[in-house]
Amino acid sequence: MKAEVDEAIEELKRAFPSSELTVNEDGEGGAHVVVESVTIGARYGPDHSWMGGHIPAQYPYADIYPVFMDAAVRRRDGNAFEAPVTEGHNFCGRPAIQISRRNNRMENSEQTAVAKFLKILDFLDKA
């Protein structure tokens, strides 16, 4: 695993200190990472979920896209998810919903793994 990817994983551990991380190297210098318990807020049930993504070998110059959460997550208001959140996916062998929030300006600014995960959580809080 590349040093930058390893550092991103350490930053995620520091940002989510009460959560375990599951890390699987991808064989190309990157890794698939799952933060096992993240608070996603009162708008969703359950209010905690795992959250995962692929940190590519090109990190930090490549986006962590898309990000996934447990397929059991539902909106408490009873409405279905709408794009950019889609159901029926799989991440690292786990049924998942996909949250597609691409950073379209990666060439102009790097985005850390922590910033990406927090961006997704902020999006879900406001969606």
**How much is the average pLDDT of 97-109?**
65
Report which of 46, 25, 50, 24 is spatially closest to residue 35, judged by C-alpha positions. 50
Query: For residue 19, which of 28, 9, 4 has the smallest C-alpha distance?
Result: 9
Domain residue extents for the chain: 3-126
In the block, residue with structure tokens 């490549």: 62
Per CATH, the architecture of 3-126 is what? Roll (3.10)
- Residue 14 or residue 63, greater confidence: 14
Which has the higher per-residue pLDDT, 98 or 79? 98
Is the peptide bond between 84 and the residue preceding it cis, with omega within 30 degrees of 0? yes
The reported pLDDT for the residue numbered 124 is: 85
Query: What is the tens place of the pLDDT at every residue in 30-79?
Result: 999 999 999 988 888 898 999 999 999 999 888 898 999 999 998 888 88
pLDDT the model gives residue 42: 84
**Which pLDDT tens digit goes with each residue over 15-32?**
999 999 999 999 999 999
Question: Does 109 score more than 60 pLDDT?
Answer: no
